[in-house]
Structure 1
Amino acid sequence: MQVTYGAGSSSNSCTDCPNPGGGQFYTDLTTLGLGNLARGRTLDLKYAVRFPAGRDWGKAGKLPGLYGGKIGEESGGNHGDGWSTRYMWRGAKGSPDNGEVYLYTPTNSGPTGYGVDEGLGDWHFQADDRWHTVEQLVDRTTGDITVWYDGRQVHHATGTASGIGSLPFGGVLFSTFYGGHDTSWGPATAQHAWFADFSLSTGVQH
Structure 2
Amino acid sequence: MFYGQGSSAPSCEDCPSEGGGQFYSDFTAAGRGDLAEARSLQLTYQVRFPADWDFGKGGKLPGLYGGKPGEAGGGNHGQAWSTRFMWRNDAGSGARRADGEVYVYDPSMGDGYGEDVGRGAWQWQADDQWHTVQQTVDRDSGRILVSIDGQQVLDEQGIQQISDIPFSGIFFSTFFGGHATEWGPSHDVHAQFRDFQVSTP
Aligned equivalent of 1:126: 125
**Counterparts of 2:26 and 2:86 in 1: how far apart (Å)?**
22
1:102 aligned onto 2:103? yes
Moved more, 90-99 or 21-30: 90-99
Is the CA contact (8 Å cut-off) linking 2:52 and 2:189 kept in structure 1?
no
Structure 1: which 5+ runs fail to align?
Answer: none
Q: 1:114-167: per-residue Cα shift (whole Å, max 9, x none)?
A: 010000000001111110000000000110000000010000112x21100111
Return structure 1 stretches of 4+ with deviation > 6 angstroms: none
Q: How big is the alpha-carbon RMSD for the aligned residues of Structure 1 and Structure 2?
A: 1.4
Is the CA contact (8 Å cut-off) linking 1:46 and 1:134 kept in structure 2?
yes
**Counterparts of 1:202 and 1:127 in 2: how far apart (Å)?**
30
1:15 aligned onto 2:13? yes
Aligned equivalent of 1:116: 115
**Counterparts of 1:24 and 1:72 in 2: how far apart (Å)?**
11
Residue type of the alignment partner of 1:103? V
**How far is the alpha carbon of 1:108 from its aligned partner?**
3.7
**Counterparts of 2:91 and 2:115 in 1: how far apart (Å)?**
17
Which of 190, 195, 200 aligns to 1:197? It is 195
Residue type of the alignment partner of 1:154? V
Figure out how many residues of one structure are paired with residues of the other and give that number: 198
**Counterparts of 1:127 and 1:184 in 2: how far apart (Å)?**
20
**Counterparts of 1:137 and 1:161 in 2: how far apart (Å)?**
12
**How far is the alpha carbon of 1:113 from its aligned partner?**
2.5
**Counterparts of 1:196 and 1:90 in 2: how far apart (Å)?**
22
Structure 2: which 5+ runs fail to align?
Answer: none
**How far is the alpha carbon of 1:93 from its aligned partner?**
7.8
**Counterparts of 2:142 and 2:184 in 1: how far apart (Å)?**
32
Tell me, what secondary structure is at the counterpart of 2:89? strand
Tell me, what secondary structure is at the counterpart of 2:124? coil
Tell me, what secondary structure is at the counterpart of 1:125? strand
Is the CA contact (8 Å cut-off) linking 1:85 and 1:101 kept in structure 2?
yes
1:74 aligned onto 2:75? no
Is the CA contact (8 Å cut-off) linking 1:108 and 1:161 kept in structure 2?
no
The equivalences for 1:39-54 within 5 A come to 39-54=37-52
The equivalences for 1:42-191 within 5 A come to 42-92=40-90, 97-108=98-109, 113-158=112-157, 160-191=158-189
Q: 1:95-125: per-residue Cα shift (whole Å, max 9, x none)?
A: 751000000000147xx83010000000001
**How far is the alpha carbon of 1:188 from its aligned partner?**
1.1
Is the CA contact (8 Å cut-off) linking 1:8 and 1:189 kept in structure 2?
yes
